A = this chain, B = another copy of it.
Amino acid sequence: LQNKELDSVLNEVLEQRNEERRKPKCPKGTRDMDPLQMAIREKAFTIIKSVFKRHGACEIDTPVFELKETLMGKYGEESKLIYDLEDQGGELLSLRYDLTVPFARFVSMHNFEKIKRFHIAKVYRRDNPQMNKGRFREFYQCDFDIAGTYSIMIPDSEVIKVLSEILEQLEIGEFVIKLNHRKFLDAMVELAGCEKRKFKAICSSVDKLDKEPWEKVREELIMMKGLTPEMCDKLEKFVKLVGKPMELLQKLKDEGIFAGHREGEETIKEMETLFEYLQAMNCIDRVSFDFSLARGLDYYTGLIYEAVLTDPNNRVGSIAGGGRYDGLVGMFAGKTIPAVGVSIGIERVFAILEEKLKKENSVRSTETQIYIAQIGKNLVAERLRICSELWAIGIKAETSYQDNPNNQRQMEYTLLNGIPLILFLGENELKEGVVKVKSLSKKEEYVIKRDELLQEIIQIVRDNPILL
């Protein structure tokens, strides 16, 4: 063998060994959920689902991938972030990018005229992940939508109410729901004398106002979007309209800001109706009427909204968003089915809850209520018998998988896993027909007759609730 060949063989062997030794990992932008994270996730989902159900929503699910053609042409520029599956000699498939397009496909395919549904599932985006900021390539969305032809602002107001209930009950800090209306944005652009075709470009600049000062946005509007200073002066008056719903509405009317503009005036009336309903549902205090909210998505046709956390320590930005989209479902159905909904960015919620619950030490990865320990030898079958009796009456019980576990280990396991009760099974006690139970939270000890075990344990478990 020549030197060169030798090197190449050597490299190959080294590479292989390297390969073997390499730690397995998750794909870029994805992560495993460990048991503690799963417990927190379930906690959050339980709260969210119970709100959806309280409002009479049903649940649906769709496949994780769709025909490529179903997703094509729905996401504009962002389409490049869609994951495609390899062509393995069948259909062309893509992973779902959100839950809204699959929902529109679902409604049309199953001939629904109306539906109030929620859908909690993972979506996929080949984006630049920033995992420390909660931006992943695989992440959960939590969507609630009401589709159907209904009276003005009734479903819209319920979606706002649902969003505010969820954010209250998750207990992740103070929040505000910013509201605006697509038709106000249309009117604003028109009344500022801008060309209609620049609508999207103007909105995308205006929407930066939550992060940048007006001067910077103004500069962008003039330099990049070709607006005149006069146009910008007029726009400025609009985008600075922010306030409590009823007060700002009064101001719009008093100052005649949309006076003579038919759509503007109509939209004022719509907002009046919405605010009346939000007042009736006792959630108007959660809302800020904000003309600088100009969410990017093309398909919004009416009300738009975005929830942000206001706690200065939790600057995660937007945590949920949505609006009315009366055209999207019809793209599949061939007839108009209006819809309004909200999507909750649950990964940020998880991150906040994770930090909070770990700090409070108030989360466990299992729910075991009692640990069956043995003192002495050869008691496996008796331990399993007791577990089995407890399982049969719904009590969560565990025991060691060792034939003869030592005391230290059994105690450690119970403490480390936050199990509130430990039962000791001893050869001598067993002969006397008793067992001992210790409460680790209350530091109490009970001696119980073996044949009264179940009734007694039910009572003790009731007095020593698990943390979760």
Contacts and interface: CB of A to CB of B under 8 A. Distances in A.
B33 A61 contact: yes
A65 B109 contact: no
A152 to B, nearest CB: 8
A248 to B, nearest CB: 20
Interface string A137-173: 0100000001010111011011001000100000000
Contacts of A283: 388
Contact of A366 (B57, B93, B281): B57
Contact of A117 (B35, B59, B61, B396): B35
A63 B95 CA distance: 13
A382 B27 contact: no
A463 to B, nearest CB: 20
A280 B382 contact: yes
B91 A27 contact: yes
Nearest to A50: B394
Contacts of A392: 282
Nearest to A58: B35
A395 to B, nearest CB: 7
Size bracket, chain A contacts:
35 or more
A397 B161 CA distance: 13
Contact of A398 (B56, B67, B122, B380): B56
A403 B24 contact: no
Nearest to A93: B27
Contacts of A381: 276-277, 279-280
Given A35-B60, A334-B21, A398-B55, A83 B88 contact: yes
Contacts of A157: 384
Given A24-B108, A32-B61, A151-B402, A388 B280 contact: yes
A367 B50 CA distance: 10
Contact of A64 (B138, B152, B396): B138
Nearest to A33: B61
A365 interface: yes
A245 B263 CA distance: 80
Nearest to A106: B32
Given A85-B84, A391-B165, A155 B401 contact: yes
Q: Closest 6 A-B residue pairs measured CB to CB?
A: A35-B58, A150-B401, A56-B398, A30-B63, A33-B61, A281-B388
